[in-house]
Structure 1
Amino acid sequence: MTTDNSRAGILHRSVLLDQAVELLVLDPRGRYIDGTFGRGGHSRLILKHLEGEGCLLGIDKDPEAVRFGKALAAEDGRFVVYHGSFADMEDAASVQGWEEGSVAGILLDLGVSSPQLDDPARGFSFMSEGPLDMRMDPSRSPSAAEWLNTAAEQEIADVIWRFGEERFSRRIARAVVLAREEEPLTTTRQFAELVRQAVPKKEKHKHPATRSFQAVRIFINRELSDLEDGLEQAVRLLGPGGRLVVISFHSLEDRIVKRFMRDLSRGPQLPRGLPVRASDVEPPFRTIGKALKASEPEIKENVRARSAVMRVLERRADMSGDQSK
Structure 2
Amino acid sequence: MTAAPHTSVLLDEVLAAMKPAKGETVVDGTFGAGGYTRAFLAAGASVIAFDRDPTAARFAEGLPADRFRLVQARFSEMAEVAGEGAVDAVALDLGVSSMQLDESERGFSFMRDGPLDMRMGEAGPTAADLVNGAETAELARILYVYGEERQSRRIAAAIAKRRAEQPFSRTLELAEFIEKALGGRRGAKVHPATRSFQALRIAVNDELSELEEGLVAAERTLKAGGRLCVVTFHSLEDRIVKTFLAVRAGRTPGGSRHAPPVAAGAPPSFQLLFNGAQAPSAAEVEANPRARSAKLRAAIRTAAPVWRDAA
How big is each residue's C-alpha offset from its partner over 1:155-176, in whole Å with a ceiling of 9 and x where there is no partner? 1111000100111111111111
Pick one of 116, 125, 140 that aligns with 2:109: 125
Structure 2 unmatched runs, 5+: 255-264
CA distance in 2 between counterparts of 1:5 and 1:191 reads 31
C-alpha distance 31-320 of structure 1, shift in aligned 2 (>3 A): farther
Could you tell me how far 1:91 is from its partner in structure 2? 2.5
In structure 2, the residue matched to 1:273 is: none
In structure 2, the residue matched to 1:37 is: 31
In structure 2, the residue matched to 1:153 is: 136
In structure 2, the residue matched to 1:144 is: 127
Could you tell me how far 1:230 is from its partner in structure 2? 0.2
- Aligned counterparts, 1:119-268, within 5 A: 119-137=103-121, 139-200=122-183, 204-266=188-250
In structure 2, the residue matched to 1:67 is: 58
- 1:196 maps to a residue whose letter is E
CA distance in 2 between counterparts of 1:298 and 1:140 reads 35
CA distance in 2 between counterparts of 1:268 and 1:157 reads 32
The answer to whether the Cα contact below 8 Å between 2:219 and 2:269 also exists between their aligned partners in 1 is no
CA distance in 1 between counterparts of 2:307 and 2:141 reads 35
Query: Normalization by structure 2: what TM-score?
Result: 0.89
The answer to whether the Cα contact below 8 Å between 1:36 and 1:58 also exists between their aligned partners in 2 is yes
CA distance in 2 between counterparts of 1:72 and 1:266 reads 43
The answer to whether the Cα contact below 8 Å between 1:268 and 1:281 also exists between their aligned partners in 2 is no
CA distance in 1 between counterparts of 2:290 and 2:120 reads 18
How big is each residue's C-alpha offset from its partner over 1:46-85, in whole Å with a ceiling of 9 and x where there is no partner? 01112xxx4210000111113323x245x34200000011
Could you tell me how far 1:289 is from its partner in structure 2? 1.2
In structure 1, the residue matched to 2:279 is: 293
SS of 1:88's equivalent in the other structure is: helix
Could you tell me how far 1:321 is from its partner in structure 2? 3.1
Query: Normalization by structure 1: what TM-score?
Result: 0.86
C-alpha distance 194-22 of structure 1, shift in aligned 2 (>3 A): same
The answer to whether the Cα contact below 8 Å between 1:158 and 1:169 also exists between their aligned partners in 2 is yes
The answer to whether the Cα contact below 8 Å between 2:246 and 2:252 also exists between their aligned partners in 1 is no
The answer to whether the Cα contact below 8 Å between 2:3 and 2:58 also exists between their aligned partners in 1 is no
How big is each residue's C-alpha offset from its partner over 1:155-204, in whole Å with a ceiling of 9 and x where there is no partner? 11110001001111111111111111111100011111111122248572
Could you tell me how far 1:102 is from its partner in structure 2? 1.8
SS of 1:241's equivalent in the other structure is: strand
* Seq. identity, %: 43
Structure 1 unmatched runs, 5+: 94-98, 271-279
The answer to whether the Cα contact below 8 Å between 1:61 and 1:83 also exists between their aligned partners in 2 is yes
CA distance in 2 between counterparts of 1:209 and 1:188 reads 10
Could you tell me how far 1:320 is from its partner in structure 2? 4.4
- 1:208 maps to a residue whose letter is P
C-alpha distance 121-107 of structure 1, shift in aligned 2 (>3 A): same
Q: Which has the larger radius of gyration?
A: 1
SS of 2:164's equivalent in the other structure is: helix
- 2:76 maps to a residue whose letter is A
CA distance in 2 between counterparts of 1:68 and 1:309 reads 25
Could you tell me how far 1:234 is from its partner in structure 2? 0.4
